[in-house]
Amino acid sequence: MDSKGGVIQPAWARPSTRSRIPLSAGLVLLALGLALYTQSAVLSSTTRTPPPYNAAAILAQCSAIDAKVGPAPNFADRRVVSDRFVQGTGAVLIKNATLWTGDGIVEGGELLLANGLIKHVGGALSVEQLAGLGYNEAGIQSFNALGGWITPA
């Protein structure tokens, strides 16, 4: 104990006035730097940059992001011949097949292929339906699938 009745502390445990000055100065400098940084950030955000030269193309591409995936709605109407079609190949009708489609399974269905394109998927075609598609039975090569599966590739 010291002469006033207090506990004597070692020198390393006593607060030093010298260590408070650099700490205070550091905090003041930090606050000043933060104030300058936020002011420059606010000023730079108010300046406008010109839009890119291809802004219309960029916006058109952004609007296409929400477009439905797949071919255009009139794609099948415009397409008459497949790019993989081999000239001289006749139309083919596969009968009595189990057709696995994206919407379900058609048992005993028929698949009509012509010009390298699928022209019909579903139930049995009548002579009138074939004529409506532009075909007659004599010009179509038919196969019986005996219930075999036909699935999308």
Question: Which CA distances in Å does 38 have to 27, 29, 47?
Answer: 17, 14, 15
- Per-residue model confidence as pLDDT tens digits over 74-114: 776 788 888 888 998 889 999 999 999 888 899 999 999 99
Residue 34: CB atoms within 10 Å: 10
**Residue type present at position 34:** L
Categorize the per-residue pLDDT at 54 as very low, low, confident or very high, splitting at 50, 70 and 90: very high
Tokens for 137, please give them: 């039975």
- Per-residue model confidence as pLDDT tens digits over 113-127: 998 998 889 888 888
For 88-123, b/e burial (b = at least 16 CB within 10 A) is eeebebbbebbbeeeeeebeebbbbbbeeeebbbee
Q: Indicate the domain borders of the chain.
A: 17-46, 75-150
Q: Does residue 38 register a pLDDT over 80?
A: no
State the average pLDDT for the chain. 81
The tokens 């730097």 sit on which residue?
33
The pTM of the full predicted model, rounded to 2 decimals, is: 0.51
CATH superfamily, domain 75-150, is: Urease, subunit C, domain 1 (2.30.40.10)
State what percent of residues in the chain have pLDDT above 90.
19
Q: What sign does the dihedral 119-124-130-133 (CA atoms) show?
A: negative
